[in-house]
Amino acid sequence: MVEFYLQLHPVIQGLLKGLAVILVIFPIGGACSMAERKVSAWIQGRPGPNRASVPWISWIPFLGTFLQRLGIFHVMADGGKMLFKEDALPGHVNKFYFILAPIVAMIPALTTVTTVPFGAYLDEAGRVIPLALANVDIGLLAIFAVSSLGVYSLILAGWASNSKYPFLGGVRASAQLISYELSMTLSVVPLFLWVNEPGREATLGLGRVVEFQSQPGFMGGMWFLFIMPVSAFIFLTSLFAETNRQPFDMPESESDLVGGFHTEYGAFKWGLFFVAEYAHMVIGSAVFTLLFLGGWNPLPWVSLADMATWVHLADQPILLGVLSIGIFLGKVLAMIFFFMWVRWTVPRFRYDQVMEIGWKKLLPLAIANLLAYAIGIAIIQK
């Protein structure tokens, strides 16, 4: 199996790896939509979706009823509905861009996955090797660049729909996403100033950030969440705005814009927008985990290499790789739960408040944070 894989052309190997990661991201996106319904139900004190069931599975004692209560089968029911529902195309839209928009939504969401490292293993020399589709030095910049193209799907959807509410949603999206991109980029600069110590080869790679958080010692093993809480806060807030999550979901904002940019969409095209939003959330959570939560290190001050010696997996690269991916995915899913928790806790801002928070609060805070850390790092690292 492994030999057969290794003798394939590198391009085909790359395609297979990409397909594998997409096969993971896409169902997570679907499962997130279900999780959102369930989490919102728990937060609001109601049972949530718990009726759909598949006959043979629900006949299993305990497990079947448990899965039914959990609403697992609603994912399939929803997916099936979206696939087979009539996909009406309104007569007044610009057809080309109307159909293009959901596709454009998916492309950046799935392309950014290529540069996100999602696990690690130890080689014979005991070094930690990150697992990623493309381990590029430019790491975070590539993710920011490609994910910034996601705004076009919202603009195009709003414009092509050729009606008032979607149009307002599109205009809001274009202004909001650009505003928060600034704070987001500025918030991670101190982190990379800290990581790129003098005398080292400069890098923007996310693998290096995790490596930095897994050094021995009190300061070495500290996650960046504790060293740079302000950066983490700004990054997280901007992430909410960039992924259109409440309290920043101005482009769709059901209470004043009906459905915002996707008012005119139905069936699978509408579903694609949602899977793209959740894929953006998954990738945003993954980047936040890598930057501020120690990536695949199980706990602060406990690195993956330490853990490998405790559980005697140091010489088992495959098992350790699976374990590290498990730890990483666990953190990502916890972050996604946090996204949902905030959504059902914090009320939506008004549009002028969104702009004011972005330009008058977060951006000056990000610049002050950058200056303070730049001076501090210059003094510490000489």
Partner 1 sequence: MTIGQILFNLFALFTLVMAAGVVLNKNAVNAALCLLLCLVGVAGLFVGLNAYLLAFLLLLVYAGAIVALFLFIVMLLDTRGDARPTLNRLPLVARILATGLILGGVASFLQRGRLVSPDIAGTVGVGAALKPYAYQLFTTYLLPVQILGFLLLIAMLGVIVLSKKFVGMEDIK
Residues near partner 1 (CB under 8 A) are: 97, 136-138, 141-142, 144-146, 148-149, 151-152, 155-156, 158-159, 167, 170-171, 174-175, 177-178, 181, 196, 201-205
Q: Report in angstroms how near the CB of residue 361 gets to partner 1 at its nearest.
A: 19
Q: Report in angstroms how near the CB of residue 37 gets to partner 1 at its nearest.
A: 32
Residue closer to partner 1 (CB basis): 49 or 158: 158
Residue closer to partner 1 (CB basis): 159 or 224: 159
Q: Report in angstroms how near the CB of residue 151 gets to partner 1 at its nearest.
A: 5
Residue closer to partner 1 (CB basis): 46 or 200: 200
Q: What is the 3-state secondary structure (H, E, C) of the chain?
A: CHHHHHCCCHHHHHHHHHHHHHHHHHHHHHHHHHHHHHHHHHHCCCCCCCCCCCHHHHCCCCHHHHHHHHCHHHHHHHHHHHHHCCCCCCCCCCHHHHHHHHHHHHHHHHHHHHHCCCEEEECCCCCEEEECCCCCCCHHHHHHHHHHHHHHHHHHHHHHCCCHHHHHHHHHHHHHHHHHHHHHHHHHHHHHHHHCCCCCCCCCCHHHHHHHCCCCCCCCCCCHHHHCHHHHHHHHHHHHHHCCCCCCCCCCCHHHHCCHHHCCCCHHHHHHHHHHHHHHHHHHHHHHHHHHCCCCCCECCECHHHHHHHCCCCCCHHHHHHHHHHHHHHHHHHHHHHHHHHHCCCCCCCHHHHHHHHHHHHHHHHHHHHHHHHHHHHHHHC
Measure the CA–CA gap between 265 and 287, rounded to whole angstroms. Answer: 30
Q: Report in angstroms how near the CB of residue 318 gets to partner 1 at its nearest.
A: 28
Residue closer to partner 1 (CB basis): 21 or 175: 175
Residue closer to partner 1 (CB basis): 71 or 108: 108
Q: Report in angstroms how near the CB of residue 141 gets to partner 1 at its nearest.
A: 5
Q: Report in angstroms how near the CB of residue 93 gets to partner 1 at its nearest.
A: 13
Q: What are the backbone angles phi and psi of residue 119, rounded to the nearest 5°? A: 180, 180
Q: Report in angstroms how near the CB of residue 38 gets to partner 1 at its nearest.
A: 34
Angle value at C-alpha 208, between 205 and 213, nearest 5 degrees: 135
Residue closer to partner 1 (CB basis): 33 or 148: 148
Residue closer to partner 1 (CB basis): 200 or 312: 200
- In Å, what is the CA distance from 354 to each residue of 28, 215, 245, 357? 29, 39, 12, 5
Residue closer to partner 1 (CB basis): 121 or 152: 152
Measure the CA–CA gap between 260 and 279, rounded to whole angstroms. Answer: 20
Q: Report in angstroms how near the CB of residue 249 gets to partner 1 at its nearest.
A: 18
Residue closer to partner 1 (CB basis): 68 or 153: 153
Q: Report in angstroms how near the CB of residue 256 gets to partner 1 at its nearest.
A: 19
